[in-house]
Amino acid sequence: MVACDISKAVRRVDAVSKSEGTIKYVSDYSFDDCLWGRLVRSGIPRGKIKAIHLPDLPEGYRFVTYKDIPEGGHNYLHMIATDWKCFAEDEVRYVGETIGILVGPDRTKVEDLKQKIVIDYEEMTPAVTIDEGLECKGGAFVNSDNIHCRLSLNVGDVDAAFKKAAKIVTETVETGFQEHVYLETNGACCIPEGDHYVVYASAQCPFYIAKSISPLLNLTPDKVIVRQTTTGGAFGGKEHFPDVVCGPLLVAAYVMKKGVKMFFDREEDIENSVKRHPSKVVFKTGLDKDGNIIAMDSTVCYNVGGYLASSFVVLQRGCFHVTGCYSFPNIRSVGLGVATNTFPSCAFRGFGAPQTLFAVETHLCHLAEMQGLDPLEYKRRYFIKQGDTTSTNGKVVERVMIPEMLEQVMKASDYERKAREYKWGSGRGIGISFYNHGGAFTGNGEQAIIKARCQLHKSANGDVEILCSQTEMGQGFHTILPKIAAHVLEIPMEKVIFKDPDTSRVPDSGPTAASRSTMIVGELVEKAANLMKPRYDKEEDFTVETHYEHPEGFPWDQSTFQGYAYLGYGWGVCAVEVEVDPCTAEITTKGIWSSHDCGHLIDERIVHGQVNGGVIQGLGWGSTEVMQNIGGHFKQTSMSDYIIPTSMDFPKQGVYFVENPYQWGPFGAKGMGELVFNGSAAAYIDAVSKAIGKRISSIPLPTEEVMTYMLHGTDLKSELQEVR
Amino acid sequence: METRICFRLNGKGVALTTDPLRRLIDVLREDFDCKGVKEGCSEGECGACSVLFNGKMVTSCIIPIGAADGQEIMTIEGVSATEKGKIIVDAFADGGAVQCGYCIPGMVIAAYYLLSNNPDPTDDEIRLGISGNICRCTGYDLIVESIHLAAKRGGAIWKS
Amino acid sequence: MEELKCYMPKTLKEALEIKAKVDVIPLAGGSDLMVSHKRTMGLTPVFEKPVMIIRNLPELKRIYRNDKGECCIGAGCTSEEIAENTLCPWHLRQAASRMGAIGLRNSATIAGNIANASPKGDTPGPLYLLDARVKLSSVRGDREELVSDFIVKFRQIDLQPDELITEIIVPYSEDDFDYIFWHKVGTRKANAISKITVSQAIKFNKDDTVADYRVSATATGAKTNRSRDVENIIIGKKITPELTEQVIEAFDKVISPRAMPEFRREATRRMIRRFLSESAKRPKGKVIDTYEGYSVTGAPTPRS
């Protein structure tokens, strides 16, 4: 059956096999002849390795380290930057840094032996927090100042505006670590086959793995074939991190001349995997005599951890989003990626944008409230519109439908009445937030760096196979792409084949990241299907290929970060209503309403599911998801310590959309996977702040913190600190 | 130390000789190839490894196989082959309950256990019924709706 | 008897005989022991001593009222079995119904929850409140001890090597009180560990003086806190704001929370104040919660 409207929901192709439990995740394969691997990691946050004492290893067991990397091989993992080592050599920079991999045929024996390995260190004082990193506690270990990376943005003349300002106020907004908690932990297997290696991995980006780990053995990426296995959630946590898992496996497979497999248990995964960057954003905002914003200066600090890896790009996206959905006349932002002795931070849904969006939303609320205004009325003054200048001196290309989305959310949530009736400090509150997310890679990165290619192959039986490197990790891409192809070709979806990618048989269409898959690769598939369509009935067996081409006329300079950072943004408005228990400070969320602009929806139910999941993940980040790092060690190491939402924590959501087709997306679709995460925490904190009548400027916010604010917090109407 | 352990698995009598302290999840996955039983947290917290133990939903990661001796175990493989199980699987597919899928076999078990005890649950009862099954993808709304759908489609079947 | 790594008795008698001869760790639900002894995925847990699996002993699964009308709960009853059984006292059912995940509640037993002697355990709060006793059996015979004495301190219980907890006897229930209160502040709304839980109960005389008042708190110290001396401040008197504050201040001296002390102390104070001031108003209904909105907020309502 050919769907008449591409938005109309279809059954996900993987729904039944996942429900019946027959689909295979990486740990469901037996990989019979393979050895078992266990990583041996640094137990200290900073220091030098003095000695490694191994127990007697029986035959067939081996402890593999950097010394086993063959001549010509490089002991690094290529994750945009190449500073993150596969194996620590003499220095360790964080707890959990891979020192070696112990391999052998019996997994219990491997574990027993692992427990007997003793490592002597010369310990050094770690820097754990952003402030400690900036202070170079224990001495700088990256550059001379512990700054991994920096950038600055400038629109207008902030200093001149500050001179004219009636008042300049400052505020610091902070966010914490967030753990992905994909339900399937990390796991992979690497098997030598002839002159190459085959890697099976739970991963987002198979080509990233091949490119990242092949230099370890001085191989070209095509000699490391990566086959993605069904991936049980990723959220950015399996974008670059699988390289850290697969690198040691590759070296071990080379040394042992045998396959090696490794699956993390939950505790191991939480303690030893990447997290969302903690952030500290310091605003200095100039106001005129009427309280209007005339200039906003921000210093955006992200806790990068021991190695840079992909964090500069995360920081860039953070700075680009620091003005949120607003247009201010003068903007300056400085971004600093701070080196600390914590596990390196990496991609997590939103990729740096959620932190600054939370910061700007929260800061605007406080600017409004100190003037006695409802934040919504204040924020309205600055909504960005088509043609307005962005934080990078580009223009907003598309129509911005925030007013329409706001209307939907206000109506659904009864916002006006509630905002009027729920007095600040009354125990009830309704908050609202505005957010966006630039789709795909920044600027012309899609053309300059990614160079995505995609193929459609038609077989004699009429089946069409989509060949690209995009992965299904839960977001629905195994359904979305065939749906696009089937729709264009006017053939049943069952005739379209789309398998988990194998890097030896698909072209590189780029990573499954950056909310780019539907927007960019979906468009390539739509174009390919259009090329195939006139030939479909005439030819039996043929392939068509499409390449990404960036639209002309939207310049971007990656060296100065000037120009059109994103051609298409997703936009969102979210309202959250809460009640606070006056005895216990427990917050109960009474309602959640959101409206999103993701262009034209490819499948309304899949998009609905993304909204639900992203919003709840954002609410978890803002409320219960406390992840502390004490002296370099993560304190929360299990799913009973690290508190993600259950079905009881938040009520059913009101989900709304506006129709705003995107001219360069398939059927008008835009990226939305990250967008839906970006705003709910700010709406929640706005609501809680109002309910308790106190200013809140950091997350997460577990119950005990709410109590602290209730007892000692600053009144919402009090003035923010003035500076000159 | 190995002991002979006999139990009923998905309606059939099975036996094995093994260490009685091995975890039920490991025996089910490795000795009986029930790979639909997923390991999420290893501490009875997330519900991905849920099975029915004498008809009651339990997390198989915290039970030694010795405790299953003489008892009755149903896994997702058994449940999804039943008429009730098929109704849930279908409803999950039609209702958009599934994203990454890793929690879903456990979620199907939870739905089966809930509906078998409460054929026509309210929203709150469904939320309570799946509150021991952690999902990081869906935010639960479409799972709740899918369970409503399964209740409606199953009708009298849930009372039998 | 040859020492084995694991014993699997079929009857209580057999279990007690093993316990008399071998220093075994009794394992019923596994929710604490299998987790604290786990290794990595696919590996068999390693225990420092032999284990005796008692999950399915039928003698430990009964719930009944004895001839004194006390509620007797078999040591092997799971949280879910207790939560569902209306013979069990209300406070205990509340606590049992909010303990961990459902799948875990179908394994976790009341005896395990007591024997674990964790300050965050869910059932000790109500058991302390209601003067519950544990029945300890061995081949030598049975003895009983108050739960509050049996739990000696953090992770330590008063159990002789040959003894097994076989029953929990709860002499009081909600029927003995006019108003009851149980509130758990968990790490989240379900499937949660307690940050603080307060159990309370009160009975009035005809002249509005307090006939009985009880309060216990968990997660507020090395073990569950309750003090008859504190309760006696208000027993025999009419509730006044001044007396209420005296109770609050006295109870505050009983508890000794280490982590988040201010939150735990303040929440405890507020919950006591709330319960005493609300019950003094003699409202209709029996259950008093932390605030009016709570019952309609979608917060978990345990199965009755």
- Per-domain residue ranges for chain B? 3-75, 80-159
* A607/chain B closest Cα distance in angstroms: 10
Give chain A's residues under pLDDT 70.
Answer: 1-4
Asked if B100 and A233 come within 8 Å (Cβ–Cβ), the reply is yes
Domain boundary among the residues A252, A271, A290 is at A271
Give which of B82, B100, B108, B148 to mutate to test A binding, by max A Cβ within 10 Å. B100
Rounded distance, CA C101 to CA A570, Å?
Answer: 37
How far apart are the C-alpha atoms of C112 and B67, rounded to whole Å? Answer: 15
Nearest Cβ partner of A588 from C193, C267, C298?
A: C298
**Greater pLDDT, C158 or C294:** C158
Whole-number pLDDT of residue A3: 45
Report yes or no on A152 lying in a domain: no
Q: Is residue A628 situated within a structural domain?
A: yes
**Do A458 and A524 sit in the same domain of this protein?**
yes
Residue C4 clears pLDDT 90, i.e. is over it? no
Of the residues A494, A517, A547, which one is the last residue of a structural domain?
A547
Q: Let me know: does C208 contact C237? Beta carbons within 8 Å.
A: no
Is residue A90 helix, strand or coil?
A: coil
Residue of A nearest to B88 (CA): A19
Res C291: pLDDT: 87
Burial A170-187 (b: 16+ CB within 10 A, else e): ebebbbbbbbbbbbbbbb
User: Strand, helix or coil at A243?
Assistant: helix
- Chain B residues near residue A8 by CB distance under 8 angstroms: none
Instruction: Chain A: give the shortest CA distance to residue C136, in Å.
Output: 31
Q: Which residue of A has its CA nearest to B30?
A: A30
Q: Give the closest of A22, A474, A639 to B46, CB-based.
A: A639
Query: Does residue C297 surpass a pLDDT of 60?
Result: no
CA distance linking residue A560 with residue A441, whole number of Å: 16
The reply to whether residue B128 touches residue C300, judged by beta carbons under 8 angstroms, is yes
- Number of domains present in the structure of chain A: 3
Q: Would you state the pLDDT for residue C293? A: 63
Task: Please say if the pLDDT value at position C294 is more than 80.
Answer: no
Q: Which residue, among B77, B125, B136, would best test binding to A if mutated, counting the most A CBs under 10 Å from its CB?
A: B136
Q: Give B-chain residues touching C100 at CB under 8 angstroms.
A: 44-45, 132
Is A244 within the bounds of a domain? yes
Per-residue b/e over C227-263, b at no fewer than 16 CB within 10 Å? beebbebbbeeebeeebbeebbebbbebbebeebeeb
Residue C53 sits at the chain A interface (C-beta within 8 Å): no
List, in sequence order, every residue forming a beta bridge with B3; answer none if it has no partner.
Answer: B18
Spatial contact of A581 and A710, defined as CB atoms under 8 Å apart: no
CB contact under 8 Å between C35 and B44, yes or no, is: yes
Contact B100 A232 (CB under 8 A): yes
- What is the arrangement of strands in the sheet containing A91-92, beginning at the earlier edge strand? A91-92, A47-53, A118-123
- In chain A, what residues touch C266 (CB-CB under 8 Å)? 707, 711
In this predicted structure, what is the pLDDT of residue A4?
64
CA-CA-CA-CA torsion sign (A113, A114, A115, A121): positive
Chain C residues within 8 A of A586 when measuring between CB atoms: 185, 290
Give the tokens for residue B156: 């009298």
CA angle A475, A481, A486 (to 5 degrees): 140
3-state SS class at B110:
helix
Answer whether A98's CB lies under 8 Å from A39's CB.
yes
For position A85, what pLDDT does the model report? 98
Res C2 pLDDT > 90: no
Q: Give the chain B residue nearest C41 (alpha carbons).
A: B42
CATH 3.30.300.180 fits B3-75, yes or no: no
The answer to whether the CB atoms of B46 and C101 lie below 8 A apart is yes
For residue A443 the two structure tokens come to: 């600027």
How far B25 CA lies from chain A's nearest CA (Å)?
A: 13
> What pLDDT sits at residue C9?
97
The answer to whether C187 contacts A643, with C-beta atoms less than 8 Å apart, is yes
CB B65, CB B20: distance < 8 Å? yes
Find the closest chain C residue to A706 by CA distance. Answer: C263
Q: Residue A711 is nearest to which of C183, C266, C300, comparing CB atoms? A: C266
pTM for this model (two decimals): 0.98
Are C267 and A707 in contact (CB < 8 Å)? yes
The chain C residue lying nearest A620, using CA atoms, is C188
Query: What average pLDDT does range C280-285 have in this prediction?
Result: 95
- What is the gyration radius of the CA atoms in chain A, in angstroms? 26
Q: Which residues of A touch C270 (CB under 8 A)?
A: 582-584
- For residues A323 and A455, membership in a common domain is answered with no
Which residues is A612 bridged to in the sheet? Answer: none
The beta-carbon neighbor of C185 closest among A268, A640, A703 is A703
In the prediction, which pLDDT does A331 show?
A: 98
Q: How far apart are CA A61 and CA C258, in angstroms?
A: 45
Burial of A290 (0-12, 13-18, 19+ CB in 10 A): exposed
Q: Are the Cβ atoms of A584 and C44 closer than 8 angstroms?
A: no
Query: Does the beta-carbon distance from A579 to C297 stay under 8 Å?
Result: yes
A435 shares a domain with A584: yes
Query: C249 vs chain B: nearest CA distance in angstroms?
Result: 37
> Which pLDDT value is given to residue C302?
38
CB contact under 8 A, A646 and C188: yes
CB pairs under 8 A between A and C: 92
Is the C-alpha dihedral spanning A280, A709, A685, A720 positive or negative?
negative
Residues of A in contact with B132 (CB under 8 A): 646
Angle between helices B83-95 and B141-154 (to 10 degrees): 140
Closest CA to C291 of A583, A649, A423: A583
Question: Do B100 and A182 make contact, defined as CB atoms within 8 angstroms?
Answer: yes
CB C96 within 8 A of CB C83: yes
Q: How far apart are the first and last CA of chain B?
A: 43
Q: Which two tokens stand for residue C248?
A: 């609050």
- Secondary structure class of C200 (helix, strand, coil): strand
- What's the token pair of residue C1? 């008897």
In chain A, which residues have their Cβ closer than 8 Å to the Cβ of C104? none
pLDDT score at C3: 75
pLDDT class of C300 with cuts at 50, 70, 90: very low
How do the domains of chain C map onto residue ranges? 6-41+49-170, 177-296
| Closest residue by Cα to residue A592 from A646, A648, A651 | A651
Indicate if A354 and A309 belong to the same structural domain.
yes
Complex confidence, ipTM: 0.99
Residue pair A602/A484 in contact (Cβ under 8 Å)? The answer is: yes
What lies within 8 Å, CB to CB, of A157 at 6+ separation is A330
Residues of B in contact with A20 (CB under 8 A): 36, 76-77, 80, 89, 105, 108
Asked if C267 and A583 come within 8 Å (Cβ–Cβ), the reply is: yes
Q: Do B99 and A19 touch (CB under 8 A)?
A: no
Confidence (pLDDT) at A228: 98
Domain that holds residue A634: 279-442+562-723
Crossing angle for the helix pair B141-154 and A604-622, nearest 10 degrees? Answer: 130
Residue A166 lies in a domain: no
Residue C163's pLDDT is 98
Name chain C's partners: 3 or more CB pairs within 8 A: A, B
Contact between residue C66 and residue C72 where contact means Cβ atoms under 8 Å apart: yes
- What is B80-159's CATH topology? DNA polymerase; domain 1 (1.10.150)
* CATH code reported for the domain at C6-41+49-170: 3.30.465.10
pLDDT, one tens digit per residue, over C61-93 is 999 999 999 999 999 999 999 999 999 999 999
- Please give the pLDDT value at position A724: 80
Chain B residue with the nearest C-alpha to that of C5? B1
CB atoms within 10 A of CB B105: 32
Question: Rounded distance, CA C64 to CA A13, Å?
Answer: 52
Which CATH number do you get for residue A521? 3.30.365.10
Q: Which residue of C has its CA nearest to A267?
A: C40
Contact B131 C44 (CB under 8 A): no
Name residue A73's amino acid: G
- Who among A231, A612, A640 is closest to B141 (CB)? A612
What is the residue-wise DSSP string for C100-165? Answer: S-HHHHTT-BHHHHHHTT-TT-SSHHHHHHTT-EEEEEETTEEEEEEHHHHEEETTEE---TT-EE
B-chain residues within 8 Å CB-CB of C44? 19, 21-23, 26
B76 contacts on A by Cβ (under 8 Å): 20-21
Chain A contact set for C263 (CB, 8 A):
585, 703-704, 707-708
Q: What are phi and psi of B32, to 5 degrees?
A: -120, 10
- DSSP code, position C175: G
Q: How confident is the model at residue C212 (pLDDT cuts 50, 70, 90)?
A: very high
The order of strands in the sheet holding A542-547 is A496-497, A464-467, A453-458, A542-547
What class is the C177-296 domain?
A: alpha beta
Q: Tell me, what's the pLDDT at A520?
A: 97
**Quick check: helix, strand or coil at residue C35?**
helix
Tokens linked to C264:
């735990």
DSSP summary character for residue A722: E
- Decide if B66 and C8 are in contact by the 8 Å CB cutoff: yes
Q: Give the residue from C193, C178, C137 showing the smallest Cα distance to C160.
A: C137
